[in-house]
């Protein structure tokens, strides 16, 4: 991955918008953006862009350089994109996601879970919770469908696949010569 791809990806994680992040990096000149110009080019309302830049600054991915007035008295605000921090930011995010998946994996392998047979997003109960609800009948409180045990094999397989992707991404980040 090129340095430019890394910073686009890192900004996209914060903005939750890959094409917006790409445009930001492309419109910047030598990594510096002027806020008013960005507003126009990205077609974002001023407050939205400002909040986005602050969120990026919280992660040290951009830094506000300062303001100055142009000849017509307009206040210009400059921001610099910290390309160098993209890699460590992404590694941290990937590691967080990995930790979360590992916890989920442990939780899945340690107990049996029951979900609504019609729509698993309706309810998810542990075996113990199912036992305490026996009196009410084993039905979904949302739609009344039966509860059924979760197919753990499938979930574990999916978690392992995601872990695999994350591990490869982390390896390739660490393998990047900087």
| Of residues 176, 168, 157, 25, the one with CA closest to residue 97 | 168
Q: Site for Zn ion (CB under 5 A): how many residues?
A: 7
Interface with Zn ion, residue 118, by CB under 5 A: yes
Ramachandran bin of 66, using left for φ above 0, alpha for ψ from -120 to 50, beta for the remaining angles: left
Contacting Zn ion (CB under 5 A), which of 1, 130, 145, 155?
145
Kindly tell me which of 119 and 160 has the beta carbon lying closer to Zn ion: 119
Minimum distance of Zn ion from residue 120's CB (angstroms): 8
Contacting Zn ion (CB under 5 A), which of 142, 157, 158, 172?
142
Alpha helices (runs of H) in the chain, residue ranges in sequence order: 3-15, 18-27, 35-42, 46-58, 86-110, 127-132, 152-175
Could you tell me if 150 and 114 are in contact, meaning their C-beta atoms sit under 8 angstroms apart? yes
Kindly tell me which of 12 and 145 has the beta carbon lying closer to Zn ion: 145
Interface with Zn ion, residue 140, by CB under 5 A: yes
Interface with Zn ion, residue 18, by CB under 5 A: no
Could you tell me if 28 and 41 are in contact, meaning their C-beta atoms sit under 8 angstroms apart? no
Residues in contact with Zn ion by the rule CB under 5 A = 116, 118, 122, 140, 142-143, 145
């Amino acid at each position: 991955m090129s340095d430019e791809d890394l910073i686009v990806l890192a900004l996209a994680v914060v903005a939750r918008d890959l094409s917006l992040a790409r445009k930001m990096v492309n419109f910047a000149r030598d990594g510096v953006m002027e806020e008013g110009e960005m507003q126009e080019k990205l077609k974002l309302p001023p407050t939205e862009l400002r909040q986005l830049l602050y969120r990026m600054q919280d992660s040290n991915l951009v830094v506000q350089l300062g303001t100055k007035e142009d000849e017509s008295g307009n206040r210009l605000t400059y921001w610099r994109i910290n390309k160098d921090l993209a890699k460590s930011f992404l590694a941290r995010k990937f590691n967080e996601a990995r930790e979360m998946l590992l916890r989920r994996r442990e939780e899945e392998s340690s107990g049996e879970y029951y979900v609504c047979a019609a729509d698993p997003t309706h309810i998810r109960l542990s075996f113990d919770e199912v036992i305490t609800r026996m009196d009410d009948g084993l039905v979904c409180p949302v739609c009344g469908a039966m509860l059924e045990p979760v197919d753990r094999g499938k979930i574990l397989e999916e978690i392992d696949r995601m872990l695999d992707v994350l591990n490869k991404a982390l390896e390739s980040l660490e393998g990047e010569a900087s």
